[in-house]
Amino acid sequence: MTRAGWLALSTIIVIYVAVSSYAALTLPLPGTADAPDHLDYIYQVSIGQLPATEGHLLFPERGGRQFASAHPPVYYALMALIAGGHLPDDLPSAVALIRSVNIAFGTVTLLLIARFGWMVGGRSRAMLSVGTTAIAAVSFTMIRFGAEIYNDMFLTLVTTAALLMTAEVILRRPTWMLAIGLFFTAALGMGTKATFVITLAVCGGAIGLHSLITWRSMRTRERLPRMALTIAPTVVGTPPTPGSI
């Protein structure tokens, strides 16, 4: 990429971080919509338990259903390691830390999107890399999820990584490192939100279909990693239980 391309990409990243940080600083505490449910989940994981479907241990006055309790615990365990020590006494610091990490997740996601645009763009790869990154950076959901306490930003990062690795397999060649990376990414995704099963279906289906088309022309050493990459989504992506999405 040219110097102008790197400058454009860097400018997009800086703008995203600035706007998301402003949103994070101006959103109320402990958060909007069901963000307190996610924060309560983080607190409960930090003290060694999972939340029940009803009630909020961190916010006893907040009755009713604990909407975040249906999600798997990977994101909340990670946030508990980072910010759990500030809960329940120092709520502002915990919220600031979690929102900052989510913005970092969003930044890495944009870099992966830029990489994807560069990979598939051909002669226009610099333009596509910068353009796709810009579109993603100014989307409301990227800014909103980055500035608040939701697991969606981490899920977006993992989903983008899985799709990028799938593109690497199809456009270049499969390797055992890619197979291991995609399996690990799939485990993170399913451990974050059950809707990641859709991404697994897309990745596994794309690799499987491409393998069928190119099987005869493949080298023997490429076949085993490709088989592993096709089977991995089936192994990792167990069907979600009712109400777990």
Residue 112 structure tokens: 């992966």
CA proximity to 133, closest of 152, 151, 108, 153: 108
Residues 53/66, Cβ–Cβ less than 8 Å: yes
Give, in order, the Cα–Cα distances in Å from 35 to each of 30, 99, 105, 148, 244. 7, 11, 17, 7, 17
- Write the pLDDT tens digit of every residue in 140-177: 889 988 899 999 999 999 999 999 998 888 887 777 78
Q: What is the pLDDT of residues 88-121, one digit of tens each?
A: 999 999 999 999 999 999 999 999 999 999 988 8
What three-state secondary structure class fits 224? Answer: helix
| pLDDT score at 158 | 96
Contacts of 113 (CB under 8 A, 6+ apart): 132, 133, 136, 160
How far separated are the first and last CA of the chain, in Å rounded? 40
In the structure encoding, which two tokens stand for residue 210, read together? 């491409």
pLDDT, residue 145, reads: 85
- Residue 242 binned pLDDT confidence (cut-offs 50, 70, 90): very low
Q: Does pLDDT of 244 surpass 80?
A: no
Q: For residue 211, what pLDDT is reported? A: 76
Q: Which of 207, 151, 165, 180 is nearest to 38 (CA)?
A: 151
What share of the chain has pLDDT > 90, as a percent? Answer: 56
pLDDT value of residue 157:
96
Closest Cα partner for 101 from 157, 50, 28? 157
Which has the minimum average pLDDT: 39-53, 108-122, 210-224?
A: 210-224
Q: Of 14-18, 34-38, 127-131, 203-207, give the lowest mean pLDDT range.
A: 203-207
Most confident of 24-38, 83-97, 176-190: 83-97
pLDDT exceeds cutoff 80 at 198: yes
H helix intervals, 48-90: 74-83
